[in-house]
Amino acid sequence: MRDIDVLCFGETMAMFVAEESGDLARVERFGKRIAGADSNVAIGLSRLGFKVSWLSRVGDDSLGRFVLDSLIREGLDCRHVQIDPAHPTGFQLKSRETDGSDPKVEYFRRGSAASHLSIADLAPDLLQARHLHATGIPPALSESCRALSRELMECMRSAGRSLSFDPNLRPSLWPSQARMVSEINALAALAHWVLPGLEEGRLLTGYDSPADIAAFYLERGVEAVVIKLGPEGAYYRTADSEGRINGVPVAQVVDTVGAGDAFAVGVISALLEGRSFPQALKRGNAFGSRAVQCIGDMEGLPHRHELSEEPQPQNA
């Protein structure tokens, strides 16, 4: 699999999005889509022309077939997605908000097929990808997923591949906040680029300012830290430079879910193309602004032809 640019892994769920606003208990009509931070990034990179391999598990059920068909249509290499006959595909319900506030999401993922991902699912050829993107969600799902996350990150780092890591904190999935902080920071230290949100960074490091949050990870061997500041834009810091890029104004926020994933797609794709950090953050901000103007977690992610002013990615 030397032709694979990026390896992503984790859980893709079926998502039922309310077609009307109000309490989910009273909503009668839902649209069916897919959701999952890790696969959102995989899809975004695929749309930009990168060859992306996806490692996951789905249940041997209709939702699993729907998820897998959707990922394949998006161009992901799903040869290493396992069909699990013993555990179901996870799903979620998502509310429709009309005032720009965060939608309410209810998850039905405990014991899902993807939560049973383990090191046994890791095929050697997957490690030939030139970049690994990981998040803090798989390690929150189960001990076996946590072991897989560490194994993948350690192997890719040892092999000289580049790694990006988005904490994507899910406190409700962890036994305690202290355990979450410890495990997530240990994984973040294995990455080259770490992409926390500001509040995530404050929780994980105990520091308040973007500069101090970034310094925390730089001291642990990370090469660059990119901090999402929401509508205010983003901040970056490396060993020898730092900067802040303003956000892109949006007239109307439709759906905030997926904005961070879109930002990650922009930043990671630009860095893999050899662009500078200011250029990467500018693209990330632009992608994030697109995402909040669309219903759905990944529907606003652009295709390469929509970036006609930019050259094609190198080695993609």
Residue with tokens 């300012």: 209
The span from the CA of 109 to the CA of 74, in Å, is: 23
Question: For the purposes of burial, counting CB atoms within 10 Å of the CB of 62, is it exposed (0-12), middle (13-18) or buried (19 or more)?
Answer: exposed
Residues involved in catalysis? 261
- Residue pair 312/304 in contact by the 8 Å Cβ criterion: yes
- Amino acid letter, 173: L
Our CA angle for 147, 205, 180, nearest 5°, is: 30
DSSP bridge pairs for 77: 53
Q: Are strands 13-21 and 91-96 parallel, antiparallel or unpaired?
A: parallel
The span from the CA of 200 to the CA of 151, in Å, is: 24
Q: Which long-range contacts (CB under 8 A, 24 or more apart) does 287-291 make?
A: 287/44, 287/262, 287/263, 288/228, 288/247, 288/248, 288/259, 288/260, 288/262, 288/263, 289/247, 289/248, 289/249, 289/250, 290/262, 291/255, 291/258, 291/259, 291/261, 291/262, 291/263
Torsional sign, CA 73, 170, 248, 243: negative
Of 220, 226, 215, residue with least CA distance to 188: 220
Of 307, 302, 305, 299, residue with least CA distance to 31: 299
- Compute CA 251 distance to the chain's CA centroid, rounded to the nearest angstrom: 25
- Amino acid letter, 161: R
